[in-house]
Amino acid sequence: MLHISSFIIPVLVMLPSVSFMFLSPRNVPAPDGSRVHPVLAAAETAGRVGTIVLPLFYPVRLSHGYEAAALAGMAVCLLLYYAVWMVYYRCGRDFARLFTPLWGIPVPLAVFPSVYFLLASVLLHAVPLLAAGLIFGAAHIAVSLQTYRRTLR
């Protein structure tokens, strides 16, 4: 059974990315010939698809305290994620801002959505979403760290 109301979970994370398509970054470094490892790229894509599609198959449950805690954690991750996007836009859409650490958290635009989806798996009682979130998080953070290191050169 599909739970269309659960689709709000991935949509809220994807909203800034939609604006990113129309307001591309500035000061993008020239390609240096390095590439993301194909396994990492495939894992990131598979995890991303899973985190977008899987919530559709699980209802939101708020009958226990840990579910409310997961929802609260998701809200904090989402607010921090949006705050980092706002800094990116306020700083002139500088490419390096997409990867700049926040309060000691490396690549926050990769970390916050990754944690968000892990918490969503708790809220939805969705083990497959947990697996997709772990795959997505590990790959997305690794790819973002690679890109961040390249921007420092």
Q: What is the pLDDT of residues 98-108, one digit of tens each?
A: 898 988 999 99
| Residue 37 dihedral angles phi and psi, to the nearest 5° | -60, 135
Q: What is the pLDDT of residues 64-73, one digit of tens each?
A: 999 999 999 9
What's the rounded Cα separation, in Å, for the pair 10 and 8? 6
Q: Which residue ranges make up each domain of the chain?
A: 4-22+36-152
Name the token pair of 36.
């993301």
What's the rounded Cα separation, in Å, for the pair 42 and 130? 18
Quote the pTM value: 0.92
pLDDT of residue 25: 86
